[in-house]
Amino acid sequence: MPVWAASTSAELKLVSVEKGFVRVELWHQGNIVKPDKVLGVNGMVAVKTKAYNPRNMLAVKLYSTAPSEQDVLALQSFINRDNSISLPVVFNYREASEPGYQMTVEVAMITKKNELLSAATTIDLLKGGSRNAFQSIEIYQSILSRLKDIQLSSAQVERLAQSLKTADQYNVCSLSLTAWSRPGWTMSKQHCNPDKNAVFGDSFVMQECAELSDRLFADLIEAAAGQCQVEEIARQQIGREFASELVSRLVSQKLQYLQIYQSTASLDQVYAWYEAFLPDSLDEAKKLMKAQLSKVNARRKGFSKMVASIVETDEYADLVVSELAYAIVTQNVRERDLVKNICTLQATKLSPQQCYDFASDVANALLKPFGATDLPELYGKAESIRQLYRKALKSKVPKDFVYSSIKAVSRWAETYAKSEHLQSNCFNRSVFPLGFMAERNRIPNPDLVARSGSSEYQYMIDQYASTLKTALYQLGESLRRYPKLKSGELEPISCTDTVILGPTFDLLFGVGTNPRPVAQ
């Protein structure tokens, strides 16, 4: 509401602020009077405005009945026919740095009797009708936009962070807001599966432990959210309208890179958070997890025996060889263009098509040892081996473990072919002829390739297939010998004996001191 100020001779009434103008009237003895009757020949009028907050800079515009200075405007131009005065209102909102929802307008006058008259009003930006106070909707929207910039500035984010620290809320809010900003954040399940790097994984053992871990983590986050008062602190700082967005900016600017966040929270870290934010439940949480891990360890022993009995079977060895054969041939097919490019650059006697035909002939020949003519047919052969594996284990182990083990071996074989095909060892040189050739910039005999229809050329191509077939056969034999090779009962006597004792193949047996993780 307007604030009234009066003198014994006249009073100033602020009528309205509309369309960017403040309208005032001068009254004397119950009537509106002409401004010059009150102001005289040297009267002075000032329009004072502040944007958002009393701490912001005051904007002042001066008017006079007899202006003598350059920045003082002539009042006569703003006097209406009804003797009211309509003066432009200019807000300094672009220079404002303090937030708030009210803007103030004050008109002050010095009368000819040297008396001060003043009247003021406030514009509440939260009220819908406040937009009528401004010259245009664009200016009103600019003011709101600037207000939002102030409310959500980096300085306000820093101020909120400091307020949390002052209130001893920073750590608990960091945990709560990190969980809020990352909906997929969970507790690590590594403690539920000691052999986490092996191909085989006991989902039966992990399930109950994982469910308990998720429940403990959810209880912790719920407790942290209940203790964190960041929304209330933000509302006290800048008001309700932008509080949630200020919190979001706090997360993105201050909390996003905190070390509190890892892709999954470890068990030890969760215990530490329990101690800090949910201390009354810490002992119970540890008791529940200890009991669950005891069950994990007990079932793990039985699981390890089950895995050991499976990997020693002929069906398992056949499955590994079959999945690896499909992955190896597929990788050789992928290498055709690379070999063609190298051949084209170095074998000037051969055309790009001749180079590509050679690479294709090698890739196609690698299908023959398996009785296939293309990759889909080879995949069908692999599926028949999987079926034999499923049939052999049907009554020995749970069904879903059989299927998950097939998937794991298949994934391992694909990863091996993609990551190991350029590694030089006796086995890889035998099964990745195109990759071996490309890695070392080798080219086929140009004269022989030029006679691609000759028996000599076909013999060369067949040799690649024969070498692959021999290597995979020996690999199968080594897989069957693995238990005795690993225990030291047998000395490695072949290339493949040595290969399967390496860390990459250790994954297949669910053992190994430092196995390389399977790519997901």
Residues 6+ apart with CB under 8 A from 228: 169, 172, 173, 175, 176, 177
Q: Are residues 350 and 397 in the same domain?
A: yes
Whether pLDDT at 319 is above 90: yes
pLDDT at 204: 57
Whether the per-residue pLDDT at 153 is higher than 60: the answer is: yes
**Has residue 107 been placed in a domain?**
yes
Domain boundary among 228, 244, 267: 228
* Residue type, position 134, single letter: F
Whole-number Å distance between alpha carbons of 419 and 124: 66
Confidence of residue 3 (pLDDT cuts 50, 70, 90): very low
Q: Quickly state the pLDDT bin for 5 (edges 50, 70, 90).
A: very low
147: enclosing H helix or E strand:
helix 137-151
Which band of pLDDT confidence, cut at 50, 70 and 90, is reported for residue 320?
very high
pLDDT of 10 over the 80 cut: yes
Confidence of residue 346 (pLDDT cuts 50, 70, 90): confident
Q: Do residue 159 and residue 111 come from a single domain? A: no
Higher per-residue confidence, 438 vs 198: 438
* Predicted pLDDT of residue 517: 31
Could you tell me which residue, 513 or 272, shows the higher pLDDT? 272
98 vs 16, more confident: 16
pLDDT tens by residue, 349-390? 889 999 999 999 999 999 999 989 999 999 999 999 999 999
At residue 477 the predicted structure's pLDDT band, cuts being 50, 70 and 90, is very high
Do 115 and 161 have their domain in common? Answer: no
pLDDT for the residue 4: 42
Q: Report how far apart, in Å, the C-alpha atoms of 304 and of each of 194, 208, 212, 390, 509 are.
A: 11, 18, 23, 19, 10
Reference 428, options 386, 385, 475; nearest CA is 475
Contacts of 291 (CB under 8 A, 6+ apart): none
Helix (H, G, I), strand (E, B) or coil at 516: coil
Lowest mean per-residue pLDDT among 299-313, 411-425, 481-495:
299-313
DSSP string, 272-337: HHHHHH-GGGHHHHHHHHHHHHHHHHHHHHHHHHHHHHHHTSHHHHHHHHHHHHHHHHHHHHHTHH
Average pLDDT of the segment spanning 398-403: 81
In the predicted model, is pLDDT for residue 194 greater than 80? Answer: no
- β-sheet bridge partners, residue 116: 110
Residues 183 and 34 in one domain: no
Predicted confidence (pLDDT) at residue 516 exceeds the cutoff of 50: no
Q: What is the mean pLDDT of residues 118-124?
A: 90
Q: What is the CA radius of gyration of the chain?
A: 41
Is 261 part of a structural domain of the chain? no
pLDDT at 115 over 90: no
Residue of 122, 126, 153, 150 whose CA lies nearest to 140? 126
Residue 190 located in a structural domain? yes
Which CATH number do you get for residue 51? 2.60.40
Residue 265 within any structural domain of the chain: no
Secondary structure string (H, E, C) spanning 194-250: CCCCCCCCCHHHHHHHHHHHHHHHHHHHHHHHHHCCHHHHHHHHHCCCCHHHHHHHH
Q: Is the pLDDT of residue 247 over 60?
A: yes
Number of domains forming the structure of the chain: 3
- The verdict on 340 and 213 lying in the same domain is no
The proportion of the chain whose per-residue pLDDT surpasses 90, expressed as a percent, equals 37
CA 355 from chain centre, in angstroms, equals 45
Mean pLDDT of 141-156: 86
In 93-117, which positions are buried (b, 16+ CB within 10 angstroms) versus exposed (e)?
A: beebeebbbbbbbbbbbbbbeeeeb
> Is residue 374 domain-shared with residue 402, that is, in the same domain?
yes
Task: Tokens 């432990």: give the residue.
Answer: 209
| 439 lies in the same domain as 380 | yes
**Distance of alpha carbon 181 from alpha carbon 184, whole angstroms:** 9
Q: How far apart are CA 313 and CA 318, in angstroms?
A: 9
Encoding tokens for residue 376?
A: 């889909």
Residue among 503, 335, 309 nearest 416 (CA): 503
Secondary structure (DSSP) of 422-467: TS-SHHHHHH-HHHHHHHTT----HHHHHTTTSHHHHHHHHHHHHH
Q: Are 404 and 386 in contact (CB under 8 A)?
A: no
**Has residue 518 got a pLDDT over 70?**
no
Query: Looking at the predicted structure, is the pLDDT value of residue 72 above 70?
Result: yes
Dmax (CA) of the chain: 126
In the structure, what pLDDT confidence band is assigned to residue 195 with cuts at 50, 70 and 90? Answer: low
Instruction: Say if 233 falls within a structural domain.
Output: no
Residue 513 above 50 pLDDT? no
Cα 475 to Cα 431: distance, rounded to the nearest angstrom: 11
- CA distances to 143, 445, 455 from 469, rounded to whole Å, are 78, 23, 21
For residue 382, the model assigns a pLDDT of 94
Task: Choose the final residue of a domain: 124, 158, 177.
Answer: 124
What pLDDT was estimated at residue 241? 81
340 and 466 co-located in one domain: yes
Contact at 8 Å (CB) between 324 and 366? no
Reported confidence tier of residue 206, pLDDT bands at 50, 70, 90: confident
Give the per-residue pLDDT at 201: 58
Average confidence score pLDDT of the chain = 85
Give residue 6's pLDDT.
44
State yes or no: pLDDT of 43 exceeds 80.
yes
My answer on whether 416 and 500 are in the same domain is yes
Same domain, yes or no: 120 and 149? no
Give the pLDDT score at 399: 81
- Find all residues with CB under 8 Å of 77, minimum gap 6, and list them: none
354 and 447: one domain?
yes
Interval 434-469: pLDDT, tens:
888 887 888 888 888 888 889 999 999 999 999 999
Q: Does residue 328 lie in a domain region?
A: yes
List all residues 6 or more positions away from 266 whose beta carbon is below 8 Å from its beta carbon.
Answer: 187, 188, 190
How far, in Å, CA of 208 to CA of 198, rounded? 20
Q: Which domain holds residue 80?
A: 11-124
pLDDT at residue 191, rounded to an integer:
83
> What tokens were used for 392?
């052999």
Tell me what the mean pLDDT of segment 147-151 comes to: 84
Q: Are 241 and 255 in contact (CB under 8 A)?
A: no
Point out the least confidently predicted range of 95-109, 171-185, 189-203, 401-415. Answer: 189-203
pLDDT category at 126 given cuts 50, 70, 90 is confident
CA 503/CA 166 separation, integer angstroms: 53
Note whether residue 519 is domain-resident: no
Instruction: For residues 443 and 356, state if they share a domain.
Output: yes
Domain end: 182, 213, 228, which one?
Answer: 228
Which residues, 6 or more positions from 274, have their beta carbon under 8 angstroms from its beta carbon?
216, 220, 281, 282, 285
Q: Tell me, yes or no, whether 166 lies in a domain.
A: yes
> What pLDDT is recorded for position 435?
84
User: Of all helices (H) and strands (E), which one includes residue 496?
Assistant: helix 495-500
| pLDDT at site 228 | 93
Q: Which two tokens stand for residue 268?
A: 């030890």
Structure tokens of 416?
Answer: 């091996």
